[in-house]
Amino acid sequence: MRAPLRQIRAKGQALTTEYPPCARIMLRVLATTDLHMQVRGWDYTADRAAPGMGLARLASLIGAARAESPNSLTVDCGDHLQGNPMGDLFAGGPGPHPMFAAMAAAGIEVTTLGNHDFNYGVEALENALETAPFPVVCANVARGALAAGAQDDPLLLPAWTILDRRVTDAEGRAHALRIGLIGLCPPQILNWDARLLAGRVGARDMIDAAAAHVPRLRAAGADIVIALSHSGIQPGPRRPLQEQASLQLGRVPGIDAIVAGHQHRLFPGPEFAPGGGIDPRAGTLHGVPAVMPGFWGTHLGVLDLALQRGPQGWRVDGHTSALRPVAERGADGALVPLVPESPAVLRATAAAHARTLTHIHEPIGRVTAPVTSHFALVADDPAVQLVARAQAWAVARALRGSAQAELPLVSITSPFKAGGRAGPDHYHDIAAGPLRLRDAADLYLFPNAACALLLNGAQLADWLERSASLFRQAVPGARDVPLLAPGVATYNFDIAHGLRYAIDLSQPARFDADGQRVAPAASRIRGLCHRGRPVAPDDRFVVASNSYRVGGGGDFPIPADAPRLLETEETNRDMLVRWIRAQPAVDPTPAPGWDFTPVAGASVVFDSAPEADPATAPRRRIERAGAAPGGFARFRLHL
């Protein structure tokens, strides 16, 4: 015989319910992350439909997943306010922010902050947050300086929130459930956006903040706790101020589930190797159910938690973790949407979409030849060099008349669109003719600021050694070695404009994917020269770069005490627009810069867009090598 429910009300308290000890419910947690202003299936830099992404399409998946489960909750894991020209246009207001309007229309109920949400500064962030119609939580970012202990930090936002829900079990009985949600973001925001955040905010280690606030969240009555961790999954022991800390978060007592983000990867699934607390089949981190649903609205995370009520309250008694894509690739490699876009999200963002289209069509100049990035990882690239030339121009003008103006200037930048996880459409493809604002946004995706350092030749060579860790080793005679090393982002392949050098793939990399110096004596950089003269270790250079890299992004070996010659408020994209407007016409033909040293009998393979033409990289021996997974084409490079 089933035990009866008994409702009780203490004086001055809300209605509560006592349940039989066997009570068991299923709670579905639906998760998004790293939306990066992709409110619709529209690529504003290419000005075309993008059927494989966008919150509007994701909202249809959310609706279908909710209909399958009577007890559901929809959350987001940060990095929503930056990522495309719409984000730039609406940064700081005024009025309702289109991303929050889209998130509300999609049914998202709680979110946290990601590192890119700070890219426009604190004032712009707070203006946007005022329009958020749901809780935004973050436990490790303080207004001003940190306190002596995490529990006393003057937080920018509430550390956590509790949602009170009426849920039903399999037999239709009603239960009260208090769901606690805590938010965390990488403390590296203080480095990456130092020019905007210095003195304005403090950031604490994520694990320390969680360990301090989760007990408070429990004490406030949370039956279960879900961590919204804008942080990736990194094997190994905990490190202070760790950027990718979701795995280590699984060891914090009191956390029942984790929604991870930041890495733009998929978990559960084969992108992560098992072991060390990571179970990519079951979808757990140190035994805690977890999900990481990619980026740009390509996937919905679905965590189904079986909750059992015992003497100590509710606990997770089982789970499933899964990912649902909004699109899949057909036999021809093209993306085919699996669900339509949500009319509610389209209506909520219609005005912002129209305004953004008008904005991106503003003319800024002309280009004399097509600009693509299909071979940006293996050859001198027109897109990378355009940004480098503009950066050098702006820094040289800013330093005019200074003591450093006579020093040689090297401009360092990296490929921003080179395929990878974003797919075979994620390349620059700008036609010859008029240039518009969308083309500048396409060439420079992030709101970084231009800056310049004073470095010597040895430090510059070490920088390039870190960059060369993008590649695997290819010894003489090795055939068709996969070119790219696992775990290294292509935007960490820095190329030095103004120098000539070669990369010797027969040698091991000095640095690993995380920027750790694993082979200090190894050297891949050969023939480093400036204007035909070998670079000596004590030669001095002005090095133009961006605020993200100089602030520590990518873990490059840039000395902390290197003199900062220039730190501008102008973004690299605005600088690029200014440079384009100053030219009668832009010739994108790349100048010779870097190469691979010959390796006898060796070849490497890499993937690029199917339309990539080896003739556009005439100084490399590249040939087609068939089709590759995910809609890519495979190419062979003879070393």
Residue-wise DSSP of 235-300: -SS--TT-SS-HHHHTTSTT--EEEE-SS--EESSTTS--BTTEETTTTEETTEEEEEE-STTSEE
Assess contact for 386 and 396: CB atoms under 8 A: no
* Residue 303, strand partner residues: 29, 321
* Residue 300, strand partner residues: 324
Tell me the DSSP string of 346-370. HHHTHHHHHHHHHHHT-EEEEESS-
What does the alpha-carbon distance between residue 223 and residue 229 come to, in Å, rounded to a whole number?
Answer: 19
What does the alpha-carbon distance between residue 42 and residue 54 come to, in Å, rounded to a whole number?
Answer: 7
Question: Nearest 5 degrees, angle CA 440-CA 116-CA 446?
Answer: 15
Axis crossing angle, helix 382-398 with helix 572-582, rounded to the nearest 10 = 90
CA 79 vs CA 116, 206, 352, 443: distances in Å = 5, 16, 19, 20
User: Which residue stretches of the chain have pLDDT < 50?
Assistant: 1-19
The pairing of beta strand 429-430 with beta strand 525-530: unpaired
- Give the residue range(s) of CATH 3.90.780.10 domains in the chain: 362-638
Tell me the DSSP string of 398-417. HTTTSTTTTS-EEEEE--S-
- Give the residue range(s) of CATH 3.60.21.10 domains in the chain: 28-353
Q: Position of tokens 């020019």?
A: 195
Of 492, 495, 532, 490, the closest CA to residue 385 belongs to: 495
Axis crossing angle, helix 98-106 with helix 55-68, rounded to the nearest 10 = 20
What does the alpha-carbon distance between residue 103 and residue 131 come to, in Å, rounded to a whole number?
Answer: 11
- pLDDT at position 8: 29
What does the alpha-carbon distance between residue 347 and residue 631 come to, in Å, rounded to a whole number?
Answer: 32
pLDDT in tens, 459-479: 999 999 999 999 999 999 999
Of 238, 164, 144, 176, the closest CA to residue 9 belongs to: 176
What does the alpha-carbon distance between residue 246 and residue 255 come to, in Å, rounded to a whole number?
Answer: 11
What does the alpha-carbon distance between residue 93 and residue 252 come to, in Å, rounded to a whole number?
Answer: 37
E-assigned strand segments in 589-630 = 594-596, 603-608, 622-627
Neighbours of 199 (CB within 10 A): 8
Mean of the per-residue pLDDT values of the chain: 94
- pLDDT at position 73: 97
Rg (CA), the chain: 26
- pLDDT at position 1: 26
In CATH, the architecture of 28-353 is 4-Layer Sandwich (3.60)
In CATH, the architecture of 362-638 is Alpha-Beta Complex (3.90)
- pLDDT at position 16: 38
Q: Is there a cis peptide before residue 94, judged by omega within 30 degrees of 0?
A: yes
Q: Is there a cis peptide before residue 268, judged by omega within 30 degrees of 0?
A: yes
E-assigned strand segments in 80-238 = 111-112, 136-137, 141-143, 160-168, 174-184, 201-203, 224-229
Assess contact for 388 and 495: CB atoms under 8 A: yes
* Residue 450, strand partner residues: 546
What does the alpha-carbon distance between residue 178 and residue 19 come to, in Å, rounded to a whole number?
Answer: 15
- pLDDT at position 93: 77
What does the alpha-carbon distance between residue 180 and residue 213 come to, in Å, rounded to a whole number?
Answer: 11
- Percentage of residues in the chain with pLDDT exceeding 90? 91
